[in-house]
C-alpha cells in the first residue's frame, strides 16, 4: 500500500489535470472545423449553382472557359494597352464583319460555298425570353438580398458589405475601372478552379491562420480589453 500510494496519487493527479485542462483542444478543433472547407458543407460546384456557369468557372468545359478568358484578355488589351476608343473599336468590328460577310457572299457563287446564315438561336424569340427571365430572377433576388441587408436584418452581412464597398472604393482611387473589372473577371475564372484543385492545402492554411488570429485576439482581450475600467452598470427602472 505504501508503494502503491504514490502511483495512485500520480494517476489521480494526471486525471485531475486532464479534467481541469483548459479547452484549448476543443477550441483548436472548432477552429479547424471553421477553417476546413471555409465552414461549408456542400462542394464548390453546388455552391456556384451546379449548372453551366459552375462548369465554366471550374473549367469543366475548358473550351468555353478558355474562350471567355481569351475574350476578356483581348478586350482589356485593346482598351488598356492599345488605348482603343469604344466607339472606334465598335465601328472597326462592324466594318470587319460586314467585309467578311460580303466576301463570303461573293465567294459563295464562285466557289460553291454555302451562303452565310444568321443562327436560329439569335432570331428565336424564346431564347430572348429565357435569357431575360433568368436575368430578371437573378436581379430580383440580388436586389431583395441587398434590401434585406440594408434594413439590418443580417447585421454581419451589413458590416461585411460596407467594409467590402469601402475597400473597393479605396482601390478604385488608384486603379482604373477597366483594370478593376479585368482583375475581377480573371479572379472569378481562376480562383474557384485553383481552390477546387488545391482544396486541402488552402483549407490547411486557412485553418492555421484562423487559429493564429483567434489566439492573438484572446491574448489582446486578456491583456488589453479586460483591463479597461468600466463603470457600474445602472439598473433600469421598471415602469
Domain boundaries, the chain: 25-117+199-208
For 60, the 3-state DSSP assignment is coil
What confidence category does residue 20 fall into, taking pLDDT thresholds of 50, 70 and 90? very low
Query: Does residue 195 contact residue 202 with C-beta atoms inside 8 Å?
Result: yes
**Segment of 20-29, 91-100, 205-214 carrying the highest mean pLDDT:** 91-100
Whether residue 181 has pLDDT greater than 60:
yes
Choice among 4-8, 105-109, 205-209, 211-215 with the minimum mean pLDDT: 4-8
Mean per-residue pLDDT, 226-238 = 60
Q: 3 pLDDT band (50/70/90 cuts)? A: very low
Measured CA distances, 136 to 79, 127, 174 (Å): 30, 14, 33
Instruction: Look up cell 486525471; give the residue.
Output: 15
Supply the pTM of this predicted model. Answer: 0.56
Q: How many CB atoms lie within 10 A of CB 203?
A: 16
Whether 159 has a pLDDT exceeding 50, the answer reads yes
Burial class (CB in 10 A: 0-12, 13-18, 19+), 57: buried
Place of cell 475600467: 229
CB 65, CB 189: distance < 8 Å:
yes
Q: Hey, what's the cell of 222?
A: 486578456
Assess contact for 60 and 236: CB atoms under 8 A: no
Looking at residue 73, its pLDDT comes to 92
Which residues are CB-contacts of 69 (< 8 A; sequence separation ≥ 6)?
186, 189
Q: Which burial class, exposed, middle or buried, applies to 118 when counting CB atoms under 10 A from its CB (0-12, 13-18, 19+)?
A: exposed
Angle of helix 155-174 relative to helix 177-197, nearest 10 degrees, comes to 130
Q: How far apart are CA 52 and CA 39, in angstroms?
A: 25
Amino acid at each position: 500500500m505504501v508503494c502503491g500510494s504514490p502511483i495512485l496519487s500520480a494517476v489521480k493527479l494526471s486525471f485531475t489535470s486532464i479534467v481541469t485542462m483548459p479547452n484549448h483542444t476543443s477550441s483548436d478543433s472548432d477552429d479547424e472545423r471553421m477553417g476546413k472547407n471555409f465552414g461549408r458543407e456542400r462542394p464548390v460546384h453546388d455552391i456556384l449553382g451546379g449548372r453551366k456557369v459552375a462548369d465554366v468557372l471550374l473549367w469543366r468545359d475548358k473550351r468555353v472557359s478558355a474562350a471567355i478568358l481569351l475574350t476578356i484578355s483581348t478586350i482589356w488589351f485593346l482598351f488598356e494597352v492599345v488605348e482603343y476608343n469604344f466607339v472606334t473599336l465598335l465601328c472597326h468590328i462592324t466594318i470587319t464583319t460586314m467585309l467578311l460577310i460580303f466576301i463570303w457572299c461573293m465567294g459563295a457563287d464562285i466557289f460553291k460555298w454555302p451562303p452565310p446564315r444568321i443562327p436560329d438561336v439569335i432570331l428565336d424569340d424564346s431564347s430572348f425570353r429565357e435569357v431575360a427571365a433568368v436575368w430578371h430572377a437573378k436581379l430580383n433576388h440580388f436586389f431583395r438580398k441587398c434590401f434585406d441587408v440594408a434594413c439590418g436584418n443580417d447585421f454581419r452581412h451589413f458590416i461585411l458589405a460596407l467594409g467590402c464597398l469601402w475597400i473597393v472604393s479605396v482601390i478604385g482611387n488608384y486603379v482604373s475601372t477597366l483594370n478593376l473589372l479585368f482583375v475581377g473577371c480573371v479572379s472569378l475564372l481562376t480562383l474557384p478552379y485553383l481552390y477546387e484543385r488545391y482544396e486541402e492545402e488552402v483549407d490547411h492554411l486557412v485553418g492555421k491562420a484562423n487559429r493564429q488570429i483567434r489566439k492573438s485576439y484572446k491574448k489582446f482581450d486578456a491583456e488589453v480589453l479586460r483591463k479597461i475600467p468600466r463603470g457600474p452598470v445602472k439598473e433600469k427602472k421598471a415602469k
